[in-house]
Amino acid sequence: MSAIKLKNFYWSVALVSLVLGLILALLYRNNMDIQQDEAIRRTNELADQVEQMKKEHDVLQGQLNRMLLELEDLSTGTHANQIKEEMEQVKIFAGMTKLTGSGVEVTLKDSNISKDYTENPNLYIVHDEDILRVVNELKAAGAEAIAVNEQRLITTTGIRCSGSTIKINKKDLVPPFVITAIGNPETLEGALKMRGGVIDHLQFFGIQVSVKKVEKLEIPAYSGGIKSNYMMDPEA
């Protein structure tokens, strides 16, 4: 190969190397720019998230401060006494408070009539429905609190026969059944003793019934548990 051709070959190789170097440099720079842009984009995203979280924190902190002020106002402000009184009323109506007052005391005993062996003996003993009749009549007459054998009745209390006993608040009770009710004694007694009423019905089967007005009755607070299986807060 002549010197001129060799020189031209070297120049060609140098030119190709230069072009390749420029291409590689451009590719490297472009890749670095892409990586740098991605890092900047990610940093900006994180900064935006931090700013959004800060705004949300400020909003929640403001709500918390307002709630703390409201709570302080409720506990020490002008409405505190009113709220306490309303809470006491709720406890009373829910049966969670022992009560005293005038009212009536009703005693139910099984019949002492001699029965023929052909008669059904169940007709002459006190059943859950008999207690329910008396309790419902007392409620209709305005009784404010009722207990059966010291078991306070609340809205969820069930009264049902359980073998030879009557179960109230998961307690097995036996006769005599003493039903105490706080309310206007005259009104309560009159409702029970009205002609054709609950006492006439019970005495027809020989059930022994006595009603007496009492100046000062004491009805205990409900002592059982309260559990709801199906109710739920609609806003929960």
Token pair for residue 196?
């054709």
Report pLDDT for 228: 56
Cα–Cα distances in angstroms (integers) from residue 108 to residues 49, 68, 101, 174, 196, in the given order: 74, 55, 22, 11, 18
Per-residue pLDDT at 119 exceeds 50 = yes
Q: How far is CA 169 from the centre of its chain?
A: 19
Give, in degrees to the nearest 5, the angle at Cα 153 between 149 and 155. Answer: 165
- Range from 3-7, 68-72, 128-132, 214-218 carrying the lowest mean pLDDT: 3-7
Where are any strands of DSSP class E within 52-91?
Answer: none
Cα–Cα distances in angstroms (integers) from residue 43 to residues 22, 33, 34, 50, 55, in the given order: 31, 15, 14, 10, 18
Nearest to 125 by CA among 115, 134, 135: 115
Report pLDDT for 236: 47
- Range from 64-68, 141-145, 164-168 carrying the lowest mean pLDDT: 64-68
Report pLDDT for 38: 67
Question: Can you give the pTM of this predicted structure?
Answer: 0.62
pLDDT, the chain, mean = 81
Q: How far is CA 153 from the centre of its chain?
A: 19
Q: How far apart are CA 212 and CA 204, in angstroms?
A: 20
Phi, psi of 218 (to 5 degrees): -125, 120
Per-residue pLDDT at 218 exceeds 90 = yes
- Range from 22-26, 102-106, 198-202 carrying the lowest mean pLDDT: 22-26
Phi, psi of 234 (to 5 degrees): -65, -15
Give the mean pLDDT of 165-182: 94
DSSP state of 166: E
Report pLDDT for 21: 74
Instruction: Assign 3-state DSSP to the chain and report helix, strand, coil percentages, each to 5.
Output: 50, 20, 30
